[in-house]
Amino acid sequence: GAVVSQHPSWVICKSGTSVKIECRSLDFQATTMFWYRQFPKQSLMLMATSNEGSKATYEQGVEKDKFLINHASLTLSTLTVTSAHPEDSSFYICSATHPRGQEQYFGPGTRLTVT
């Protein structure tokens, strides 16, 4: 149990276009999900906290108008990178908090390449 999936696993898009990444908790409901970003050979940095039915809370320095987060249901959160640029190329990982509240479960990640 406690599986989190992400779709797509890999996406290539052209500069200036938008791309949506989905994060799903498959076997539990998650009121809270988190979005992280990982640059090559670096650690994960929290981008935002997503709470079902409310606006996401962004970390300092993260552009909320560029990285749109929607947590419309208890099993789905989406991250939309708007007007993507090559510097947005990164590995994006989501996590979902299990209702037991003890732990976040991480998705397998989505690699975004902007050309």
Partner 1 sequence: AQSVTQLGSHVSVSEGALVLLRCNYSSSVPPYLFWYVQYPNQGLQLLLKYTTGATLVKGINGFEAEFKKSETSFHLTKPSAHMSDAAEYFCAVSASGGYQKVTFGTGTKLQVIP
Residue 81 or 93: which CB sits closer to partner 1?
A: 93
Residue 19 or 35: which CB sits closer to partner 1?
A: 35
Residue 34 or 67: which CB sits closer to partner 1?
A: 34
Residues that bind partner 1 (CB under 8 A): 6, 32, 34, 42-46, 49, 93, 95, 97-98, 100-104, 106-109, 111
21: exposed, middle or buried (Cβ count in 10 Å: 0-12, 13-18, 19+): buried
Min CB(41)–partner 1 separation in Å: 8
Sheet of 4-7: strand order equals 4-7, 19-25, 76-81, 67-73
With beta carbons less than 8 A apart as the criterion, state whether 80 and 68 touch. yes
